[in-house]
């Protein structure tokens, strides 16, 4: 990446899913804290599904669903903001600071970091990103900070919106022109089952993904994960990977070229 003729450190966007956060070892935060020294500008985007569910239950806020998706009404949105921008974000920042990182916690509302619009009126205050404040992220990373962003957004009228963390991370990676987007999950890699045995797929092109979905090898909850990866790839990010967040040394191993998780590249990039 170049700016004004000067080569800049590449962006590395890391998405931490809510179900993965509690599994991340101390070593993960130590690795993350060292990334700027290794020549990267890391940006973290996170969700917090389990924390949201726990708070909703404790506060007796009833959940409604449309086509399997939670409806975010005003009461639910308040809980989502508490869970994401409050508890989860500050826990992540605290762990990263303890590991020696220079972390700063934000939500997509702060500095209009993520401008969004309502995705589907039936789902209430759920949005998708239409603009990213890349200037703010560039300023923070230039000062050595690691932005830790909760997946909330704000629309043009000032209404806060709940945003899916996968799509938020993808929007951030695409807007920044990130070199890599890493999606940390609780699975080792994308896999297919053959004769009752799992075969992990270490590298996939969009064409291969569609073929595996069509023949039923990739199915169920894995489909939205790989679709999210392909969406980001289509927006110009060079490489997207699904990685097992709980594995020790996963960031270092991946960045050093070890076959870990599943990497998504275009056919052109794979052939090089």
Per-residue pLDDT tens digits for 194-240 = 777 888 999 999 999 999 999 988 887 778 778 888 988 998 898 99
pLDDT for the residue numbered 65 = 83
Query: What CATH code is assigned to 8-178?
Result: 3.40.1160.10
| Residue whose structure tokens are 């070890």 | 258
DSSP 17: -
Confidence of residue 5 (pLDDT cuts 50, 70, 90): very low
Mean pLDDT, residues 110-138: 97
Q: Report the candidate in 61, 39, 43, 42 with the shortest Cα–Cα distance to residue 52.
A: 61
Beta carbons within 10 angstroms of residue 214's beta carbon: 9
Q: Determine phi and psi for 36, rounding to 5 degrees.
A: -60, -35
Q: Mutual orientation of helices 89-98 and 26-34 as an angle, nearest 10°? A: 70
- Residue range(s) occupied by CATH 3.40.1160.10 in the chain: 8-178
Q: Report pLDDT for 81.
A: 97
Distance CA 176, CA 47 (A): 20
Q: What is the pTM of this model?
A: 0.91
Catalytic sites, residue numbers: 15, 18, 49, 166, 225
Count of residues making up the chain: 272
* DSSP codes of every residue in 238-249: SEEEEEETTSTT
- Helix (H) or strand (E) holding 131, with range, is strand 126-132
């Amino acid at each position: 990446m170049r700016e004004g003729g000067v080569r800049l450190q590449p962006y590395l966007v890391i998405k931490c899913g809510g179900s993965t956060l509690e599994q991340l070892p101390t070593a993960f935060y130590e690795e993350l804290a060292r990334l700027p020294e290794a020549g990267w500008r890391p940006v973290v985007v996170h969700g917090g599904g389990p924390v949201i569910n726990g708070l909703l239950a404790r506060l007796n806020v009833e959940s409604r669903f449309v086509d399997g998706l939670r409806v975010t009404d005003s009461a639910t949105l308040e809980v989502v903001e508490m869970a994401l921008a409050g508890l989860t974000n500050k826990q992540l920042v605290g762990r990263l600071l303890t590991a020696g990182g220079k972390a700063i916690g934000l939500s997509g509302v702060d500095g209009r970091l993520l401008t969004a619009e309502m995705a589907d009126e039936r789902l209430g205050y759920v949005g998708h990103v239409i603009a990213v404040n890349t200037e703010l992220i560039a300023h923070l990373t230039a000062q050595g900070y690691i932005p830790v962003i909760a997946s909330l957004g704000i629309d043009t009228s000032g209404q806060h919106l709940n945003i899916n963390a996968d799509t938020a991370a993808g929007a951030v990676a695409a807007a920044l022109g990130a070199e890599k987007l890493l999606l940390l999950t609780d699975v080792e890699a994308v896999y297919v089952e053959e004769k009752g045995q799992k075969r992990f797929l270490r590298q996939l092109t969009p064409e291969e993904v569609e073929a595996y979905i069509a023949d039923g090898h990739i199915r169920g909850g894995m489909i939205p994960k790989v679709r999210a990866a392909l969406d980001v790839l289509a927006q110009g990010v060079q490489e997207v990977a699904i990685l097992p967040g709980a594995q020790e040394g996963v960031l270092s191993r991946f960045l050093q070229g070890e076959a870990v998780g599943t990497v998504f590249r275009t056919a052109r990039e794979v052939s090089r």
